[in-house]
Structure 1
Amino acid sequence: MEAVATDGRTLLESPLDRVLGARTAKALSRLGLETVSDLLNHAPRRYVRRGELVPLSHAHEGDSVTVVATVLGTSMRPMNARRGFLLKVMISDGNVDMSLTFFAKSSRPLAFHEMKLKPGTVATFSGTVSSYRGELQLTHPEYEVLEDGGDVDKDEIARPRPLYPSAVNVPTWTIEKAIATILDQVQPADIPEPLPESFRTRHGLLGAYDALMGLHRPGLDADWQRARERMKFEEALILQTVLIQRGHEAAAVDSTPRPARPDGLAAAFDARLPFELTEGQRLVGDQISADLASSRPMTRLLQGDVGSGKTIVALRAMLQVVDGGGQAALLAPTEVLAEQHFRSITSMLGELALGGLLSDLGTRVDLLTGTMGAKATREVLGRVAGGETGIIIGTHALLSDRVQIPFLSLAIVDEQHRFGVDQREALRARPGVNLLVMTATPIPRTLAMTAFGDLAVSELTELPRGRGDVTTTIVPAGKTSWVDRVWERVAEDVTAGGRAFVVCPRIDPDDEATGLESSDENPRPPLSSVVDTADQLRRNPALAGITIGTLTGPMSPEDKTSIMAAFQDGTAPVLVATTVIEVGVDVPDATTMIILDADRFGLSQLHQLRGRIGRGTKPGLCLALSWAPEGTIAAERLAAFADTRDGFALAERDMELRREGDVLGASQSGAHSHLRHLEIRKDVRVIEMARDDAIELVAQAPDLSPWPGLRDAVNAARRRSEIDYLGRN
């Protein structure tokens, strides 16, 4: 029998305040942990062995140590280089002294440590030894006060200790103690088993209860290793089953075939192209054309590096649909990109976009964004609902219930990494709609198999002929002479007829930059902002006489359009912007990309930014200004960025340096990943085996009724992703 709370809920469903008390529950809620199930599924990020007790004299930089020492004294002060406070604690084992350092944004959490670590207190301190200004120290060590200077339990010291994802005022040991309280109450019957017995036997996996205990209370390293292996398989099987189910559901719906016509719009468009399509564009175009001619809806991912020509492939597909009497919708993540697509598509179509005004052959192309005026919006909605518009381009506004596209046959989601599975599902949920998902952020094979397992995958790997080469250089931001040369080079390129982007991580100097400030150990100026940078450049003698424009997300559509037009025609040839220009902006004369505080951007984002230049015949220059010290992950990321323009190689490296994102829901940022155990880059074998099993299980019973535990887990995963999506919108 499952343990049941007094209100009819099972133990796992119980709110934490019922089990741990209001104070602890409130603290854990900061981590999004609300129920017993949430807490037990809060997986350790790693395990540490506190190791042999060592004297301070044997501690060396980089060692993971546990020491027993006496507190000599404490001091707290505000930090110099950033907001916040620093607590320094001096300890000694009677022979050697060492400092402990704690940081926080306010003095309150530090006051707690200061209260516990009064002079004369004896405690065990565990952490990794680092060095600052020649002195060894432990930063944010774990510690346990020894009552009355008592003996140390050496077996307890040697046990692998879980370290949990934590937050300010919710340290890992608080989470560990809360989980221990729960585990003391949990019985095997309380823990549901989602894995079919045959699956567990085939892969030699622990049961759910044993895995949970091994995860949180390992006696040996082998315990948590077996537990984690079990959890990886569970997570992979649930994820793959969701994706296989979605694919089955999509394939079960009939779609109106839209075969290619030799005398239609698509053929007329091909005939007017002033250049040859690449071999890759033709091959992928043929794949999509065959999909559209089928009576089963297309579900395809098109990935290609920046500048590989995905837009023209998408346009040819939309024209084939229009030829067959259908409508096509292109969903873009930003207004800048939606407007860019509208301009480039109408320009490529020429008179074919005039909807029959000059000939019988043509279609209407309309733009719909959330900030359009009421009158313009009504007019567009009317034309779309009446079937007058063949191609509708827009932002999230296209997902609104008020948008009626009666003959929608093809939905294209551009820059998939800015959306998510749920948002593409909102389009695919319409019966019989063909779906094409595009991304210019190349996706490693394992991530594509996991996040897009319900889609066929096509790739564009070659760039159109005639594109200019792009050189990338990392510029140390602290070297004034180098930075001065950057702006001189911008002036030279603009004078030669080029355009220059200058990208900043912030809009205004007063914007919050949580987690991005410097520390006393690593001083750096505040992050660059569009406002300050534009002002500085206007006063820079090297750029005298050159008009500087600015572009940010919150600007009105009219202002954005005006600013981009001035940039394109050379009226304002230097554009200071946020990453709003990251995707889709296509200015052939743009030759220079300056990225300020480049060490604060991810690899894929850096690659996207660099992709804004070199799109014409002139060579491009990307200068990335960085404060990252040598040997840091940020410096390693930038070195990889400068080393290659191969987006697929960079995507693999990027996934090594950060988490994969939420592959089921709308979030694509690693910080919000639903993956607690699975590491997509490392766990290829697990993913492939789970996928094979999921295909077999869904083929046997699409509703999973023979395996109620798996059915409930899969339904919960689908429900959670849908709720998350609705909550964000």
Structure 2
Amino acid sequence: MRTRCLSRADSTDDGPSASHASPTLAAVTDRPADDAGVADGAVPDGLERSLRNAVGQKTADRLKRAFGYERVGDLVMHVPRRYVTRGELTDLSELQVGDHVTVVAEVRSIETRETGKRDRRGRPLKITSVAISDGTDTLHLTFFNSPWITNELHRGVTGMFSGTVSVFRDQRQLTHPEYETFEEEGADPTAWAAEVIPVYPATATLPTKDLRALIQQVLADLGPVADPLPDDVRREHRLLPLRTALDRIHAPESEEAGRVAMHTLRWHEAFLLETYLLATRAWMQSLPSTPRPAGALLARLDASLPYELTPDQRTVGDEVQADLADRTSMHRLVQGEVGSGKTLVAIRAMLAVAESGGQSALLAPTEVLASQHLRSIVATLGPDLAAELHPVLLTGQMSTSDQKRALLAIAAGQSRIVVGTHALLADRVTFADLGLVVIDEQHRFGVEQRETLRQKGVAPHTLVLTATPIPRTIAMTAFGDLDVSTIRTLPPGRSPIQTHVVGPEASPAVANRVWDRVADEVDAGRQAFVVCPAIAPGDVERGMPSEDESDEGGPKVLADVETWTRRLRTHHRLRGARIESLTGAMASDEKDAVMRAVVAGDVDVIVATTVIEVGVDVPNATTMVVNDADRFGVSQLHQLRGRVGRGAHAGLCLLRTTAEDGTLARERVDAVAATLDGFALAEVDLEHRREGDVLGTTQSGGRSSLRLLRVTRDRAIIEQARDAALAVLAADPRLERHGALRLAVHRRLDPDARAALTSA
């Protein structure tokens, strides 16, 4: 049979401790001397074979351009997103409009003609019409811009055709049906109709039919593969051997067989991920580090604070201080609600390190946030401690003279607290005694960046801060190599933020009331934020794309900072207000000047992008308006509204959106308005997130992104796999008896990430 498929559609907690297993990561990830020795009696692993050798250079180049694939293992893990069956054979005389049918018939006529119209790409629109008959009736097939069809379908050819029946000009037809011609005598139409067909994520250059053929080609030549899953684990969880799962996922006898194979492959991915993370964690926990017990400096700070620590701040602070006093390096993630006091926990850790003359480096994702951190640290320390510890800022856009002064103070050990952006990672930055690395908003940085900063000291302690609450399963996957502490309680005196959605159904009076409310707050001597997803008119690339946009309509025009700054300055109630703008594209000194003016109360309304998303502390700001709120994620909106209501007055957040009720975009916005619980919203964010990379290159640094697992759907698999990985590492910390597993863990990382993680 010859097949032509023409479908268009396919384009926490931190879990159990691993401290009892203490392999060095290098031992776990070192590649065996040759692949033939990956396990007792194992064979070379065909999954590592180059696609160039398997399918030829030209096809390999297409696969790399479309999906980034280079190995056979990459291609065979390109799993179907669904299965279809062609269905029961139907006589043409029995066809009903709207039915999906499969028929066997003979081609009676075929013609291609131009319509005089053009398609969306401006090409002349051609239609190929084919008339087929099974002897009982006639059916028409319609193909658009497919003149090559005449090379395969011509008068007298018999084949099988599958599609949905429609009517055009009183004639029943199938539009772009899938078909297969019978070129061999004895071809079995019934078997063809019952076959389960995998449908793959595809592109215009690599449609699902081509992917299906390529995958079957490499599977036929693959041979045995090294299975990293231990036999006892596979038996306990009733999983298939890896090779069997690969064969069945791509050519299942039934859809149920495909689901069973998919379960095995998801289990494989979870097990490899958890083994890698737990081995990494055990390695990091085994690194010797200089103990940094707290002393007089911390006591002086605590005595000077005008408020009591919250119970969570004290508990988490005690965990951090215990880690710092240990002889092995700390690797701890502190997560907490917006305004819960994570920065104070970090400052207290810095003072413990400073007690012995050590230095702390705080890495922030933006200059605005870095400058804000420095001001907050200086204010918290007070004049005496600040003068003694000499906190300093280092960013790439500082003047050359300011950078030189900062670099000298850091190298000499004069500055025991250093705050900076990516500029801290430069080779020219040297520390006298780097004892603590603090990473703010971990998701903004990659493994390599974190490790680059750590390597400027001798096994320094690491503290990661995030104001984005992390669901337990995410913590087990993206942050499984870190101990996790959580701050849930807010400091006393914080009023809850009221959040309201202003949607397209709102009356003009209600919509206008948004800006009256901003003016009311300004008249009362308070400040407001107005957030836009774009910087300038015509900017369509910022913000979260809405699923409501159509290919024909294109992206909608986004609210931008420049336009709204002008509008608000001319608003009849805000003409006397001091209104400024702030974006990430502004020069460093300009951004800093604006933020200083905002903090000083010299700006009434700040119109900004998400540059103010995290860390910006303006206690007098009480109102936030988010334009095109549907362009942002759930957690991002939660972070944004956390910028208001941080002082004596309650906060108000108004979410303006054009998203209609019932759309996913509107559901995201409504979810934020419904609760102030960031941990609950993190789960909602996870549910709404489209299929994609949970770890991503920003977390993993390499080829360890999740391909099959979805943390909301596969929590049970991830938890079971983590328990199994713990047991394997406890019994065989260096994976000496699990060579295939050791090799698979090694392959999870690209060379740069491997080097970063093994170079302590």
Change (3 A) 1:663 1:245: farther
Alignment partner of 2:530 out of 502, 506, 524: 502
Q: Structure 1 residue 411: deviation in Å?
A: 1.1
Q: Structure 1 residue 713: deviation in Å?
A: 0.8
Could you say what the CA RMSD is over the residues aligned between the two structures, in angstroms? 4.0
Asked if residue 219 in structure 1 is aligned to residue 253 in structure 2, the reply is yes
Aligned residue in 2 for 1:349: 381
Asked if residue 338 in structure 1 is aligned to residue 370 in structure 2, the reply is yes
Aligned residue in 2 for 1:205: 239
Equivalent pair of 2:365/2:441 in contact (CA under 8 Å): yes
Match of 1:718, SS state, is coil
Equivalent pair of 1:163/1:172 in contact (CA under 8 Å): yes
Change (3 A) 1:90 1:681: farther
Q: Structure 1 residue 308: deviation in Å?
A: 0.8
Aligned residue in 2 for 1:487: 515
Q: Which amino acid counterpart does residue 572 of structure 1 have in structure 2? A: V
Equivalent pair of 2:96/2:165 in contact (CA under 8 Å): no
Match of 2:500, SS state, is strand
Q: Which amino acid counterpart does residue 468 of structure 2 have in structure 1? A: T
Change (3 A) 1:407 1:669: closer
Q: Which amino acid counterpart does residue 526 of structure 1 have in structure 2? A: V
Q: Which moved more, 1:561-570 or 1:410-419?
A: 561-570
Alignment of 1:181-196 (within 5 A): 181-187=217-223, 189=224, 191-196=225-230
Asked if residue 20 in structure 1 is aligned to residue 78 in structure 2, the reply is no
Asked if residue 471 in structure 1 is aligned to residue 498 in structure 2, the reply is yes
Change (3 A) 1:127 1:697: farther
Aligned residue in 2 for 1:592: 623
Q: Structure 1 residue 635: deviation in Å?
A: 1.9
Aligned residue in 1 for 2:67: 31
Aligned residue in 1 for 2:643: 612
Equivalent pair of 1:211/1:228 in contact (CA under 8 Å): yes
Q: Structure 1 residue 425: deviation in Å?
A: 3.9
Aligned residue in 2 for 1:304: 336
Once the two structures are superposed, what CA deviation does each residue of 1:2-22 show, in whole Å capped at 9, x if it has no partner?
A: 99xxxxx98544543444345
Determine the C-alpha separation between the residues in 2 that align with 1:638 and 1:99: 45
Asked if residue 255 in structure 1 is aligned to residue 289 in structure 2, the reply is yes
Match of 2:333, SS state, is strand
Aligned residue in 2 for 1:627: 658
Equivalent pair of 2:102/2:193 in contact (CA under 8 Å): no
Change (3 A) 1:152 1:311: farther
Equivalent pair of 1:662/1:673 in contact (CA under 8 Å): no
Asked if residue 277 in structure 1 is aligned to residue 309 in structure 2, the reply is yes
Q: Structure 1 residue 446: deviation in Å?
A: 1.4
Determine the C-alpha separation between the residues in 2 that align with 1:469 and 1:671: 41
Determine the C-alpha separation between the residues in 2 that align with 1:33 and 1:56: 43
Equivalent pair of 1:335/1:557 in contact (CA under 8 Å): yes
Equivalent pair of 2:697/2:705 in contact (CA under 8 Å): no
Determine the C-alpha separation between the residues in 2 that align with 1:278 and 1:610: 22
Asked if residue 318 in structure 1 is aligned to residue 357 in structure 2, the reply is no
Determine the C-alpha separation between the residues in 2 that align with 1:91 and 1:491: 65
Determine the C-alpha separation between the residues in 1 that align with 2:526 and 2:124: 48
Once the two structures are superposed, what CA deviation does each residue of 1:663-718 show, in whole Å capped at 9, x if it has no partner?
A: 66642599998111222223222222222222232233333122111111101113
Q: Structure 1 residue 725: deviation in Å?
A: 8.5
Alignment partner of 2:706 out of 675, 681, 701: 675
Aligned residue in 1 for 2:39: none
Alignment of 1:143-158 (within 5 A): 143-147=177-181, 153=189, 155-158=191-194
Determine the C-alpha separation between the residues in 1 that align with 2:505 and 2:161: 41
Q: Which moved more, 1:706-715 or 1:222-231?
A: 222-231
Match of 2:217, SS state, is helix
Aligned residue in 2 for 1:287: 319
Change (3 A) 1:367 1:50: farther
Asked if residue 601 in structure 1 is aligned to residue 632 in structure 2, the reply is yes
Aligned residue in 2 for 1:132: none
Q: Which amino acid counterpart does residue 400 of structure 2 have in structure 1? A: A
Change (3 A) 1:344 1:2: closer
Q: Which amino acid counterpart does residue 456 of structure 1 have in structure 2? A: D
Change (3 A) 1:329 1:98: farther
Determine the C-alpha separation between the residues in 1 that align with 2:634 and 2:735: 40
Aligned residue in 2 for 1:415: 441
Q: Which moved more, 1:707-716 or 1:527-536?
A: 527-536
Change (3 A) 1:490 1:125: farther
Aligned residue in 1 for 2:19: none
Identity among equivalent positions (%) equals 44
Q: Which amino acid counterpart does residue 642 of structure 2 have in structure 1? A: G
Q: Structure 1 residue 506: deviation in Å?
A: 2.0
Change (3 A) 1:521 1:665: closer
Aligned residue in 1 for 2:575: 544
Alignment of 1:558-569 (within 5 A): 558-569=589-600
Determine the C-alpha separation between the residues in 2 that align with 1:464 and 1:703: 45
Change (3 A) 1:343 1:50: farther
Asked if residue 245 in structure 1 is aligned to residue 279 in structure 2, the reply is yes
Q: Which amino acid counterpart does residue 674 of structure 2 have in structure 1? A: D
Aligned residue in 2 for 1:231: 265
What TM-score results when the alignment is normalised by the length of structure 1? 0.84
Match of 1:437, SS state, is strand
Q: Structure 1 residue 448: deviation in Å?
A: 0.9
Asked if residue 575 in structure 1 is aligned to residue 606 in structure 2, the reply is yes
Q: Which amino acid counterpart does residue 591 of structure 1 have in structure 2? A: T
Determine the C-alpha separation between the residues in 2 that align with 1:437 and 1:696: 27
Asked if residue 555 in structure 1 is aligned to residue 568 in structure 2, the reply is no
Determine the C-alpha separation between the residues in 2 that align with 1:578 and 1:128: 50
Q: Structure 1 residue 43: deviation in Å?
A: 2.5
Aligned residue in 2 for 1:368: 394
Q: Which amino acid counterpart does residue 32 of structure 1 have in structure 2? A: G
5+ residue gaps, structure 1: 4-8, 102-109, 130-136, 356-361
Q: Structure 1 residue 303: deviation in Å?
A: 0.6
Determine the C-alpha separation between the residues in 2 that align with 1:91 and 1:624: 52
Determine the C-alpha separation between the residues in 1 that align with 2:643 and 2:128: 52
Alignment partner of 1:381 out of 407, 411, 414: 407
Q: Which amino acid counterpart does residue 432 of structure 1 have in structure 2? A: A
Which structure's relative contact order is higher, taking Cα pairs within 8 Å and 6+ residues apart? 2
Aligned residue in 1 for 2:29: none
Equivalent pair of 2:334/2:485 in contact (CA under 8 Å): yes
Q: Which amino acid counterpart does residue 250 of structure 2 have in structure 1? A: H
Change (3 A) 1:633 1:126: farther
Q: Structure 1 residue 723: deviation in Å?
A: 6.9
Determine the C-alpha separation between the residues in 1 that align with 2:125 and 2:439: 50
Asked if residue 450 in structure 1 is aligned to residue 477 in structure 2, the reply is yes
Equivalent pair of 1:89/1:99 in contact (CA under 8 Å): no
Determine the C-alpha separation between the residues in 1 that align with 2:163 and 2:558: 34
Once the two structures are superposed, what CA deviation does each residue of 1:393-430 show, in whole Å capped at 9, x if it has no partner?
A: 11122223322223111111111122244443444555
Once the two structures are superposed, what CA deviation does each residue of 1:308-328 show, in whole Å capped at 9, x if it has no partner?
A: 111111111111111132211
Q: Which amino acid counterpart does residue 504 of structure 1 have in structure 2? A: C
Q: Which moved more, 1:634-643 or 1:679-688?
A: 679-688
Asked if residue 513 in structure 1 is aligned to residue 552 in structure 2, the reply is no
Determine the C-alpha separation between the residues in 2 that align with 1:383 and 1:486: 48
Alignment partner of 1:441 out of 460, 464, 468: 468
Determine the C-alpha separation between the residues in 2 that align with 1:570 and 1:266: 31
What TM-score results when the alignment is normalised by the length of structure 2? 0.80
Once the two structures are superposed, what CA deviation does each residue of 1:472-521 show, in whole Å capped at 9, x if it has no partner?
A: 12222475714333223222222222222222222223445396693277
Alignment partner of 2:206 out of 170, 176, 182: 170
Change (3 A) 1:523 1:450: closer
Q: Which moved more, 1:556-565 or 1:505-514?
A: 505-514
Once the two structures are superposed, what CA deviation does each residue of 1:366-418 show, in whole Å capped at 9, x if it has no partner?
A: 11112223322222122111111111111122223322223111111111122
Equivalent pair of 2:333/2:465 in contact (CA under 8 Å): yes
Match of 2:498, SS state, is strand
Q: Which amino acid counterpart does residue 534 of structure 1 have in structure 2? A: T
Determine the C-alpha separation between the residues in 1 that align with 2:729 and 2:485: 25
5+ residue gaps, structure 2: 1-33, 37-43, 167-172
Equivalent pair of 1:327/1:410 in contact (CA under 8 Å): yes
Change (3 A) 1:124 1:647: farther
Equivalent pair of 2:81/2:199 in contact (CA under 8 Å): yes
Determine the C-alpha separation between the residues in 1 that align with 2:678 and 2:276: 29
Paired residues, what number?
Answer: 687
Q: Which amino acid counterpart does residue 646 of structure 2 have in structure 1? A: R
Change (3 A) 1:539 1:244: same
